A and B are shown apart, each in its own frame.
Chain A
Amino acid sequence: GNSVTQMEGPVTLSEEAFLTINCTYTATGYPSLFWYVQYPGEGLQLLLKATKADDKGSNKGFEATYRKETTSFHLEKGSVQVSDSAVYFCALSGGGSNYKLTFGKGTLLTVNP
């Protein structure tokens, strides 16, 4: 079945540091890939997505590229801010008649001033 593996957290960075959160997946067919973010006390928000190989999703300075050859979708940001502190979830959605999301366990990011 489908699965998503994220790097274990927590991750603690200083403001303006470079961020990478690794994500690899196992899936049949050609899944869509997502990064969701969960700020403290809030629900999940879609951060970015990519629907086919070599697509790059981007939003709010975050980027991730769909790499089919390495089955990866790593999240990056060049300069993090304190307001980026949150839990980040990598997820995939399979094709066919069922588009349910399979999530990784989440990575807690804390950015210190």
Chain B
Amino acid sequence: EAGVAQSPRYKIIEKRQSVAFWCNPISGHATLYWYQQILGQGPKLLIQFQNNGVVDDSQLPKDRFSAERLKGVDSTLKIQPAKLEDSAVYLCASSLRLGTSGQETQYFGPGTRLLVL
């Protein structure tokens, strides 16, 4: 079974530029998550989708971050404009479904490492 795919793996941009990250979850997984992992810290949830609907985006800085999952499969996370403090690893994860015990385990992609100069 293929895992969660993410691209690009690395990105370097200057502040005030825009950037987009792509995620393809495990086939059949209804739930998709984007996390931000700043160096030396644990991942922090940015946004959670169930199919193509948003479940939780309470920690997403909506003035500059946006995300979509139009067909309930792939997802894109965008930052516009980027700030220095956005330098981090952006992780995508997916799980089979919510609300069913044992099926909410999240599987992570390799991440996109973003450096904002």
Binding site for B on A (CB under 8 A): 4, 32, 34, 36, 42-46, 49, 51, 89, 91, 93, 97-101, 103-106
Binding site for A on B (CB under 8 A): 4, 31, 33, 35, 40-45, 48, 55-56, 91, 93, 95, 98-99, 101-102, 104-111
Task: Describe A's contact surface by its main secondary structure.
Answer: strand
Contact B41 A105, beta carbon cutoff 8 Å: yes
Contact A46 B45, beta carbon cutoff 8 Å: no
Kindly report which residue of chain B lies nearest to residue A104, judged by CB atoms: B42
Contact A100 B56, beta carbon cutoff 8 Å: yes
Contact B56 A98, beta carbon cutoff 8 Å: yes
CA distance A42 to B6 in the complex (A): 12
18 contacts between A and B (CB under 8 A): A4-B42, A32-B104, A43-B4, A43-B108, A43-B110, A91-B42, A97-B55, A97-B99, A99-B31, A99-B104, A100-B33, A100-B45, A101-B33, A101-B35, A101-B45, A103-B43, A105-B42, A106-B41
Q: Which of A46, A98, A100 has the most CB of B within 10 A?
A: A100
Contact B33 A89, beta carbon cutoff 8 Å: no
In angstroms, how far is the closest chain B Cβ from the Cβ of A53?
Answer: 14
Chain A residues closer than 8 Å to B109, beta-carbon distance: 43
Chain A residues closer than 8 Å to B43, beta-carbon distance: 44, 89, 101, 103
Kindly report which residue of chain B lies nearest to residue A103, judged by CB atoms: B42
Report the 9 A-B pairs with minimum CB-CB distance, sorted nearest first: A103-B42, A44-B108, A99-B104, A43-B110, A43-B108, A100-B45, A43-B111, A105-B42, A103-B43
Contact B106 A101, beta carbon cutoff 8 Å: yes
Chain B residues closer than 8 Å to A101, beta-carbon distance: 33, 35, 43, 45, 93, 106
Kindly report which residue of chain B lies nearest to residue A98, judged by CB atoms: B56
Chain B residues closer than 8 Å to A49, beta-carbon distance: 105
Q: A43-B111, A101-B35 known; 8 other A-B pairs, CB under 8 Å?
A: A43-B4, A44-B93, A93-B104, A98-B48, A100-B56, A103-B42, A105-B42, A106-B41
Chain A residues closer than 8 Å to B111, beta-carbon distance: 43
In angstroms, how far is the closest chain A Cβ from the Cβ of B67?
Answer: 14
Chain B residues closer than 8 Å to A46, beta-carbon distance: 105-107
